Structure 1
Amino acid sequence: MAHDHAHQHAHHHDHTDIDWADMAEHLETQAELFTPLHEHALAWLGGKQTEPGLIVDAGSGPGVVSCLLADSFPGARVVAVDGSEPLLHLARERAERLGVADRFATLTGELPDAMADLDYPADLIWASQSLHHLGDQQAAIRAYAERLAVGGTLALVEGGLPTRFLPRDFGIGRPGLEARIDAVQADWFADMRAALPGSVSVPEDWRAMMSAAGLKPSGTRTFLLDLPAPATDRARAVAAATFGRVRESLGDVLDATDRATLDRLLDPDDKASVHHRPDLYVLTARTVHTAVRTG
């Protein structure tokens, strides 16, 4: 579903009230489900540059990808930066559990200002699905560029394809439910962006924006996550959480038939629900845009 990163987080009708800590379990579960996609993206990044000394995960959440960064670049120190201390606590626990805590740190603060507290410039800044939560995206990219070492890379993960869990016609309600949810979420996303403090409307040409910040674009690639049916328990949990938040936050925008369909999809006692149905799958894509500081 379009912009489903935004719907990883608890959002309510005033559009700006996002309780990141409340989303901790879902954030972790979804990031773990997306591990194959992230591993392919990080392998691609690793083939494009020398071993980084300092990696910053800007908008890290509970640190699933932060720890993957530490695993992918074993010579690097990783700093997870996020505005939610409860999520960073989970990140530190994960790093300890995975044996990378000796080169793992966290920094609590709002982006991009928190980047000013880094001890020294970063060789790689990874910003996945976090930039679009900042009002002035161009200013944020400029701030990231200033925190890069010469030769360092900024990797923005923005865009891709909507996530799909179900066939177009899955036997209940009207066919095309997820396409209709996409349309509702697109409107929510536009309203969310407009309501952010200091919001600036800009075309989402990430290469152009990185160039305007003085960086040299160095590549764009899209990575696929294809988990066919039958779904794993983790995939079912992610589907249930995703549809559950759509029902809770956007259900009043959908018609009665679609609301009833969502209710059936979410009912653990209904064999047609995401908890049981044999045709549930996960198919999505994320796009990584990279640029280098040359001087």
Structure 2
Amino acid sequence: MTHAHPHAARHGAHHGLQHAAGSGSQAEILDLDAEVLAEHIAAITAWLPIESAPHEIVDLGCGTGAGTFALIARFPDARVTAVDSSAEHLHRLREKAYAEGVQERVRTVQADLDAADWPDLGTPDLVWASASMHHLADPHRALRTVHDILTPGGLFAVVELAGFPRFLPENAPEDRPGLEERCHAAGERYHAEHVPHRGADWGPMLTAAGFAVDGERTVTVNIPGDRSAAVGRYALGALQRLRHRAADALSTDDLAALDGLLDTDSPRSILRRGDLAVRTERTIWAARRNG
């Protein structure tokens, strides 16, 4: 992991990749995201400028629990309230908690974070929001709500992605070099319309909500495909999602090449490639409630 400058349904707001055609595939992608990026998530939790170990943590837009379980491992005396709009994701998170024997330390709450009134989330010492805030229709209101529920001196960690990960070399696939970048460019039109806060600088927004920003850090992720067997499946799921958003804007030849990568029975299947890597960036803002 390297660093650049030291300074991360829609309203559920989940980790990693969002809004595919089916919720089951979404949950599987969230699980793969957690598996492939586990070391990076753990490193982010270790970087947080914690003044004293938190006892009550809230994970906003928890998905299937990547952040929840990283925080439980990082802070063994803490309990986590995991919040998401998806009943399926929360069910899967609870199953994991029982499997790991930490069910007494995890509480799940189903909630729409764009609602005017949030359910009672207690008075946490730490609030974690990974790849979730940019999905909200009114993130400014959510930031103010987080400020109000945090204990004085408590920390709010906002982790955001620099878009979808990249997986293919620039010259791939051989018949349509640069296909992945063209798919991302087509997908950006969707995001500009539906997810306008993605890629935002959360520092000024946190300050406007009453926080003092204690630190900001950008983490570069570059994980070779041979490091984890899950990388291929992660790439397959991510490109399936990208196709769902970008298909209407792709040329016939690009769409055919993409479908060849997504056909698991094809010799061109992305699962058969030995040159995959996960490349992306995450930026983390650590902000404190001072009073």
Query: What range is the shorter-chain TM-score in?
Result: 0.7 to 0.9
Q: Percent of pairs identical after alignment?
A: 37
Q: Is the 8 A contact 1:107 1:114 kept in 2?
A: no
The root-mean-square deviation of aligned C-alpha atoms, in Å, is 2.3
Paired residues for 1:234-273 under 5 Å: 234-273=230-269
Structure 1, gaps ≥5 residues long: 12-18, 195-200
Query: What is the Cα deviation at residue 6 of structure 1?
Result: 7.2
Q: 2:31 aligns with which of 21, 28, 33?
A: 28
CA distances 1:117-164 after superposition (whole Å, capped 9, x unpaired): 335211111111111111111111111111111011111112436522
Match of 1:163, SS state, is coil
Answer yes or no: is 1:10 the counterpart of 2:20.
yes
- Structure 1 residues 48 and 89 mapped into 2: Cα distance closer, same or farther (>3 Å)? same
- Structure 1 residues 50 and 20 mapped into 2: Cα distance closer, same or farther (>3 Å)? farther
Q: 1:219 aligns with which of 215, 219, 226?
A: 215
- Structure 1 residues 202 and 130 mapped into 2: Cα distance closer, same or farther (>3 Å)? closer
Paired residues for 1:115-264 under 5 Å: 116-118=118-120, 120-160=122-162, 162-193=164-195, 204-230=200-226, 232-264=228-260
Which structure is richer in relative contact order (CA contacts within 8 A, separation 6 or more)? 2
CA distances 1:161-181 after superposition (whole Å, capped 9, x unpaired): 652211100242332222212
- Structure 1 residues 95 and 7 mapped into 2: Cα distance closer, same or farther (>3 Å)? closer
Q: Is the 8 A contact 2:68 2:80 kept in 1?
A: yes
Match of 2:249, SS state, is coil
Match of 2:282, SS state, is strand
- Structure 1 residues 59 and 279 mapped into 2: Cα distance closer, same or farther (>3 Å)? same
Which amino acid in structure 2 is aligned with residue 182 of structure 1? H
Q: Quote the Cα distance in structure 2 between the aligned partners of 1:267 and 1:231.
A: 23
Q: Is the 8 A contact 2:56 2:125 kept in 1?
A: yes
Aligned to 1:109: 111
Q: Is the 8 A contact 1:55 1:126 kept in 2?
A: yes
- Structure 1 residues 216 and 148 mapped into 2: Cα distance closer, same or farther (>3 Å)? same
Structure 2, gaps ≥5 residues long: 1-13
Q: Quote the Cα distance in structure 1 between the aligned partners of 2:151 and 2:19.
A: 32
Aligned to 2:42: 39
Answer yes or no: is 1:281 the counterpart of 2:277.
yes
Match of 1:25, SS state, is helix
- Structure 1 residues 216 and 40 mapped into 2: Cα distance closer, same or farther (>3 Å)? same
Q: Quote the Cα distance in structure 1 between the aligned partners of 2:173 and 2:70.
A: 39
- Structure 1 residues 119 and 110 mapped into 2: Cα distance closer, same or farther (>3 Å)? closer
